[in-house]
């Protein structure tokens, strides 16, 4: 019988449960017996309320409202659950019934094979004598890499949970653990209360311990993760993480509390809280709270490495031509040798910045208003105990006004000329400083002229090249300032500020004197997908006003040569910046290189900086970092990371890692060593091991499936 006739016959026959809910039945042949039994044979398909059943034969008994099904059977709920079976006896709406020699597949990942599957109320799927695994099984071996055998398993589709009774975990067919009761989320569930991935960790200071996080779902918008960590050398730690989402933002608070033998009798801890909220009229609120019990705790317990803690509250708004910000900040240093009483640990900022077009004058202008204040907890106005040139108790408040303007002109010969200028006024109140105490004012102005001449060449093969020499002449006030410099002590000289009217990053110092900023840039664009950019520049002054330190590269009548170049191509990036004098002695150097291939990735960086007491750098810095990974095989990845200190002639940190990932298992091994030491920390070695069964809710993404050998 044709499928179209089968479909019509199915609609006309007396199938109350199916017909009332507009079920569709398709089959190669139909037969009606005793006016109450419908038999469908050959490629049978039934579509009902989003569910689909395929089978070889289906018999519908109208009196009992039952379906007797002969397999192979495939029943799909359209939401990621599929049941495979050889025979079934089910209600006409598929909500009740028994399937034999059956297999339940969830999200094409987790498979549960059972001697019998029972459907209950359309919500529960109960299975007897079950083997559960997400591992691929090859024909030559019927043993999966891992499996959970259970006497009984119940799948709750509403709660999306799997309940195991008398479960036995097996690895490679060998029984490893017995668990009387076990609850696991099914693959569709991303958030549910329960244990997360455990990890084994060994530290040379604390010994060996197991981190076993427990996730607590406190609703749709908040949760708490509790991770106890007890080690063989007496360390007792509880890590906590609380998250909550609101209609306008969210908060994230994490940290830990510890007791250990490194500081006997002390309770140690760390907390970091962040929040972000949307306010009316386009404003945002950013919050951060950070605190630690002692300087060594962060390194001892492997929290993100910082040496100055920052807590802040900031309200800001950014628009196309406007920026507004108000913030309160508190700093706390955990660096060796730093006294927080002599640091500007509390500060407040208010900034309003506006860009606009200057109508009849032409060009573009800007206006900035900034108010700033900071204070030290020390009240000593005479001493300088840390020899930083600042009185230990100095407090400072400042109000700054700044206006700038620039207008560009395109000349007939292709050159681009510009005139530019800026003017600023600053009002200071300085307290608790015997040298600078009192109110002070400062005004500053600078004007400049700039000439650019871009040379462009386009070749027949699609390559484009641009060479652009630039000369900029700047005239600025040359009078010295009685304002102490606190926010502009560290100056960077690079391609970004080569043509700035002032290269100081803050407001306490301004660049004075007449000077010429010279530079040339080269850019090559290749249609094969790679680019090359080079910039070379220098600053020449009419006289040395002793504004910059030697380590900045800007000191003297002639600055250091600044060179910067970058290469980008498919999967590869190389960037380098150098500052060197006329004798090619390097002041600063920075190199970054990264490559990403199909199997191999590497990222490396080198930094070199000369010693400079003005920048609070008493010894040179020369370090090389390396982070690389290599896919050893389809399922194996190795990692190496290191940081080497050339000045100390030793490695600062080193680490190795090995990861195995396939369709059902993730194993991660890590070994790291920190060689550096100080008065608060000592060298340590860490070992970590984590194992994750893939295929359950919230698990990591699966890797490549194992290949079966013929």
Tens-digit pLDDT profile for residues 462-499: 999 999 999 999 999 877 668 888 899 889 999 999 99
Number of domains in the chain: 3
Claim to verify: residue 530 and residue 665 sit in the same structural domain: no
Q: Checking phi first, is residue 186 left (phi over 0); if not, alpha (psi -120 to 50) or beta?
A: beta
Q: Is 17 helix (H, G, I), strand (E, B) or coil?
A: helix
Flag whether 649 is in a domain: yes
Residue 256 in domain: no
Question: Is residue 335 situated within a structural domain?
Answer: no
Residue 679 pLDDT more than 70?
no
Do 649 and 610 share a domain, yes or no? no
Query: Does residue 334 belong to any structural domain of this protein?
Result: no
481's torsion region: left (phi>0), alpha (psi -120 to 50) or beta? beta
Within this chain, do residues 49 and 180 fall inside the same structural domain, yes or no? Answer: yes
Query: pLDDT tens for residues 352-370?
Result: 999 999 876 789 999 999 9
Instruction: Please write the tens of the pLDDT for every residue from 385-411.
Output: 888 888 999 999 999 999 999 999 999
3-class SS of residue 173:
coil
Separation CA 173–CA 145 (nearest Å): 7
Using alpha carbons only, how large is the chain's radius of gyration in Å? 35
Residue 13 has pLDDT above 60, yes or no: no
Measured CA to CA, the distance from residue 695 to residue 663 in angstroms comes to 8
Residue range(s) defining the domain that contains residue 478: 454-597+605-617
Asked whether residue 466 falls in the same domain as residue 609, the answer is yes
d(CA 252, CA 231): 27
Query: Phi-psi bin for 679: left (phi > 0), alpha (psi -120 to 50), beta?
Result: alpha
In this structure, the answer to whether residues 591 and 633 fall within a common structural domain is no
What percent helix, strand, coil does the chain show, rounded to 5?
5, 60, 35
Residues 644, 611, single domain; the answer is: no
Report the percentage of the chain scoring pLDDT > 90. Answer: 63
SS3 281: helix
Q: Is the pLDDT of residue 316 over 50?
A: yes
Give the per-residue pLDDT at 684.
Answer: 87
Q: What is the predicted pLDDT for the residue at 680?
A: 63
Q: Do 542 and 647 belong together in one domain?
A: no
Say what the pLDDT of residue 493 is. Answer: 94
Lowest mean pLDDT among 150-154, 188-192, 278-282, 574-578: 188-192
Structure-token pair, residue 74: 């495939």
Q: Are residues 637 and 522 in the same domain?
A: no
Mean pLDDT of 232-246: 94
Are 587 and 661 in the same domain? no
Q: Which helix (H) or strand (E) holds 11?
A: helix 3-12
Do 480 and 528 lie in a common domain? Answer: yes
Q: Which of 149, 175, 192 is where one domain is finished?
A: 192
What is the pLDDT averaged over residues 53-60? Answer: 91
- Which residues, 6+ apart, have CB-to-CB distance to 2 below 8 Å? none
- For residue 619, name the pLDDT band (cuts at 50, 70, 90): confident
Exposure string over 679-695, b if 16+ CB within 10 A, otherwise e = eebeebebebebbbbbb
Let me know if residue 385 belongs to a domain: no
Region 89-103: mean pLDDT is 88
- Regarding whether 480 and 500 lie in a shared domain, the answer is yes
pLDDT mean over 73-93: 89
Mean pLDDT of 264-285: 96
- Of 555, 589, 617, the residue at which a domain comes to its end is 617
**Does 321 reside within a domain?**
no
Is pLDDT at 536 greater than 80 in this prediction? yes
Which pLDDT value is given to residue 710?
Answer: 60
Residue 142 is predicted with a pLDDT of: 73
Q: What are the DSSP calls for 336-370, one per residue?
A: TT--GGGS--EEEEEEEEEEEE-GGG-SEEEEEEE
pLDDT class of 14 with cuts at 50, 70, 90: very low
Which secondary-structure segment (H or E) carries 20? helix 16-20
Domain assignment of residue 226, yes or no: no
Confidence of residue 9 (pLDDT cuts 50, 70, 90): very low
Residue 257 binned pLDDT confidence (cut-offs 50, 70, 90): very high
Tokens representing residue 4 in the block:
């179209």
Q: Is the pTM of this model over 0.85?
A: no
Q: Which 3 state secondary structure label does DSSP give 129?
A: strand
C-alpha 146/C-alpha 158 separation (Å) is 27
Of 617, 645, 677, the last residue of a domain is: 617
How far CA 603 is from CA of 182, 576, 577, 642, 674, in Å, comes to 43, 14, 17, 11, 20
Question: Does a structural domain hold residue 475?
Answer: yes
| 94 and 145 assigned to the same domain | yes
């Amino acid at each position: 019988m044709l499928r179209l006739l089968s479909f019509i016959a199915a609609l006309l026959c007396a199938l109350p449960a199916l017909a009332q809910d507009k079920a569709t039945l398709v089959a190669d042949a139909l037969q009606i017996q005793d006016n109450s039994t419908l038999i469908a044979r050959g490629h049978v398909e039934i579509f009902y309320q989003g569910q689909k059943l395929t089978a070889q034969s289906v018999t519908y008994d109208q009196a009992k409202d039952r379906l007797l099904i002969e397999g192979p059977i495939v029943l799909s709920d359209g939401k990621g659950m599929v049941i495979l079976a050889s025979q079934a006896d089910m209600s006409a709406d598929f909500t009740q019934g028994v399937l034999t020699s059956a297999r339940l597949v969830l999200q094409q990942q987790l498979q549960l094979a059972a001697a019998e599957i029972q459907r209950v109320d359309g919500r529960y799927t109960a299975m007897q004598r079950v083997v559960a695994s997400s591992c691929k099984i090859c024909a030559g071996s019927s043993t999966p890499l891992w499996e959970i055998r259970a006497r009984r398993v119940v799948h709750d589709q509403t709660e999306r949970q799997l309940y195991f009774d008398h479960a036995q975990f097996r690895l490679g067919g060998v029984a490893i653990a017995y668990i009387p009761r076990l609850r696991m989320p099914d693959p569709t569930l991303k958030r549910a209360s329960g244990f997360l991935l455990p990890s084994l960790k060994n530290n040379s200071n604390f010994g060996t311990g197991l981190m076993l996080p427990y996730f607590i779902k406190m609703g749709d918008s908040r949760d708490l993760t509790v991770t106890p960590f007890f080690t063989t050398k007496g360390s007792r730690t509880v890590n906590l993480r609380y998250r909550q989402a609101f209609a306008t933002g969210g908060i994230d608070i994490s940290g830990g509390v510890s007791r250990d033998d490194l500081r006997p009798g002390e309770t140690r801890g760390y907390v970091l809280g962040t929040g972000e909220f949307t306010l009316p009229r386009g404003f945002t609120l950013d919050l951060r709270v950070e605190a630690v019990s002692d300087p060594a705790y962060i390194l001892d317990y492997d929290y993100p490495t910082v040496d100055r803690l920052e807590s802040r509250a900031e309200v800001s708004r950014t628009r196309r031509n406007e920026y507004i910000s108000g913030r309160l900040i508190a700093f706390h240093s955990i660096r060796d040798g730093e006294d927080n009483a002599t640091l500007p640990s509390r500060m407040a900022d208010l900034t309003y910045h506006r860009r606009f077009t200057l109508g009849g004058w032409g060009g573009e202008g800007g206006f900035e208003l900034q108010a700033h204040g900071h204070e030290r907890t020390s009240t000593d106005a005479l001493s300088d105990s840390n020899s930083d040139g600042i009185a230990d108790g100095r407090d400072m408040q400042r109000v700054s006004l700044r206006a700038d303007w620039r207008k560009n002109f395109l000349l007939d010969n292709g050159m681009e000329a510009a005139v530019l200028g800026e003017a600023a006024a600053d009002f200071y109140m300085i307290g608790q400083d015997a040298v600078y105490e009192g109110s002070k004012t400062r005004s500053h102005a600078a004007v400049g002229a700039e000439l650019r001449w871009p040379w462009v060449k386009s070749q027949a093969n699609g390559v484009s090249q641009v060479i652009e020499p630039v000369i900029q002449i700047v005239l600025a006030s040359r009078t010295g300032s009685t304002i102490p410099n606190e926010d502009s002590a560290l100056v960077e000289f690079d391609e970004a500020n080569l043509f700035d009217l002032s290269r100081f990053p803050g407001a306490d110092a301004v660049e004075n004197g007449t000077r010429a900023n010279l530079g040339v840039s080269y850019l090559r664009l290749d249609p094969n997908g790679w680019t090359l950019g080079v910039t070379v520049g220098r600053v020449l002054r009419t006289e040395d006003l002793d504004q910059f330190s030697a380590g900045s590269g800007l000191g003297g009548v002639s600055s250091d040569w600044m060179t910067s170049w970058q290469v980008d191509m498919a999967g590869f990036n190389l960037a380098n910046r150098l500052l060197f004098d006329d004798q090619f002695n390097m002041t600063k150097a920075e190199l970054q290189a990264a490559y990403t291939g199909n199997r191999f990735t590497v990222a490396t960086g080198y930094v070199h900086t000369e010693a400079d007491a003005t920048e609070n750098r008493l010894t040179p810095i020369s370090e090389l970092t390396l982070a690389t990974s290599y896919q050893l095989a389809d399922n194996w990845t190795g990692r190496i990371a290191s940081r080497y200190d050339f000045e100390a002639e030793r490695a600062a940190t080193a680490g190795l890692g090995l990861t195995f990932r396939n369709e059902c298992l993730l194993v991660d091994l890590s070994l790291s060593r920190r060689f550096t030491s100080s008065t608060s920390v000592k060298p340590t070695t860490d070992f970590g091991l984590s194992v994750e069964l893939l295929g359950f809710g919230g698990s990591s993404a699966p890797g490549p499936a194992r290949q079966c050998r013929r």
